[in-house]
Amino acid sequence: MLTIRSSQPSPTASVDFNRSTSSTQVVADKEKKLFEEWRLWVMNAPVGEGKNREIACNRMEDCKKRDAVWLELNDLGLSSLPGSWPPSVKYLNLSNNCLTCLPTLPDLLEFLYADHNLLTHLPEVWPAGVIELHLNFNQLEQLPKILPTNLTYLDVSDNRLKSLSDSLPFFIEVIIAYNNYLTHLSVSPIYLTEINVSNNQIKDLPEYFSPSLRTCDVSYNQITRIPAGIIAFAGAARFYVRHNPFPENVQRAIHDLDFNPSYYRVKFIGV
Angstrom CA distances, 52 to 20, 74, 115, 243, stand at 38, 10, 18, 44
What DSSP state is assigned to residue 117?
S
Count of CB atoms within 10 A of residue 72's CB?
Answer: 16
Query: What's the pLDDT tens digit per position in 35-65?
Result: 999 999 999 999 999 999 999 999 999 999 9
- pLDDT surpassing 90 at residue 247: yes
% of residues, the chain, pLDDT over 90: 67
Fold of 35-181: 3.80.10
φ, ψ of residue 230 in degrees (nearest 5): -75, -40
Q: Tell me, rounded to whole angstroms, the distance of Cα 149 from its chain centroid.
A: 12
What DSSP state is assigned to residue 176?
E
What pLDDT score does 234 carry? 62
Q: Which residues pair with 113 in a beta bridge?
A: 93, 134
Query: What's the pLDDT tens digit per position in 69-100?
Result: 999 999 999 999 999 999 999 999 999 999 99
Query: What's the pLDDT tens digit per position in 155-178?
Result: 999 999 999 977 789 899 999 999
- pLDDT surpassing 60 at residue 264: no
* Amino acid letter, 251: Q
Higher-pLDDT residue of 135 and 83 is: 135
Query: Which residues make Cβ contacts (< 8 Å) with residue 13, sequence separation at least 6?
Result: none
* Domain ranges within the chain, ordered by starting residue: 35-181, 206-271
Phi-psi region of 8 (alpha: psi -120 to 50; beta: other; left: phi over 0): beta
Q: What is the pTM of this model?
A: 0.88
Higher-pLDDT residue of 74 and 251 is: 74
What pLDDT score does 185 carry? 87
What pLDDT score does 28 carry? 73
Q: Tell me, rounded to whole angstroms, the distance of Cα 163 from its chain centroid.
A: 17
What pLDDT score does 39 carry? 97
Cα torsion for 218, 223, 226, 230, to the nearest 10°?
Answer: -30
